[in-house]
Amino acid sequence: MKLNLEGKYALVCGGSKGIGLASAIELSRLGCNVTLAARHVETLGEGLRQLDKSRGQVHRFICFDMSDPAGVNKRLVNIQPGFHILVLNSGGPKGGPLTESLLSDLQSAFNSLLLSSQVIVQHSLKTMKEDGYGRVINITSIGLKEPISGLGVSNTMRGAVGSWAKTLAGELGPFGITVNNILPGYTLTDRLDTLMEQRANAQGISKAQIIDKYLEHIPARRLAEPSEIGTVVAFLASPAAAYINGVNLPVDGGFLHCL
């Protein structure tokens, strides 16, 4: 199986922790040169130290905030050439019913999940086309297929990102560039921990009881580890996945009921 990513360059957004860092680690193990992106220098430095360098890779990091597309563009404009692999991963919007969400909540989510992703893709298209190799991998949510109760803004924006990615897959496929969405299920990240705390407080129960409720609906009967999402990212980034394009791939332990 062709998994070697030596000579390839990846940008991993949200790369300082959780699914982003787990993805970066797996890419580095395949020989990829990885650039981590996130908002805080301190956590990026710690993440960088965890990447594999055994094949002489050069890893680095940059700071930007996905909620500021103009700022993202400003940080990327001087990075040349572009990247072969883009892992588009951003913190999810705050929870709550859609009917109680502000327009500013929707705009912020739109900036983070779609507009900044558009900026990042456009930055690297020249490099991908010239080299005949490109992978755009969106870390989205099972909410793209089945709306999740209490995550109104997230459900709305995930659908928009799904359509954006499917459109790009058709436009970029002829250039050897694939665009795919990974839909993680309930994964042990800081975001899930925050959501569980909020739900536990709202319902007057413990976080352990919230987890038990989740597990009742997951055939695997456990939550995912970030590394389990990271290995899927690495596979989709590899030459072995060259004919996988425009798909929504759940990694959810069987949680989703739909096909």
* 193 falls within a domain: no
3-state secondary structure 21-67: HHHHHHHHHCCCEEEEEECCHHHHHHHHCCCCCCCCCCCEEEECCCC
Q: Is the pLDDT of residue 78 over 90?
A: no
Residue 214 lies in a domain: no
Structural domains in the chain (count): 1
In a domain, 109, yes or no: yes
- Mean pLDDT, rounded, of the chain: 95
Per the structure, the complete domain to which residue 68 belongs is given by 9-186+225-251
Tell me whether residue 257 is in a domain: no
The contacts of residue 51 (CB under 8 Å, 6+ apart) are 24, 25, 28, 34, 36, 57, 59
pLDDT in tens, 219-230: 999 999 999 999
Q: Please tell me whether residue 174 adopts helix, strand or coil conformation.
A: helix
The pTM of the full predicted model, rounded to 2 decimals, is: 0.95
16-44 pLDDT tens trace? 999 999 999 999 999 999 999 999 888 99
Whether residue 205 lies inside any domain: the answer is no
Distance between CA 251 and CA 17 in Å, rounded? 18
Identify the H or E element spanning 250: strand 248-251
**pLDDT of 94 above 90:** no
| 217 domain-assigned | no
98 part of a folded domain: yes
What is the average pLDDT across 122-140?
97
For residue 135, tell me if it sits in a domain: yes
The CATH number assigned to the domain holding 110 equals: 3.40.50.720
| Tokens encoding 88 | 């588009």
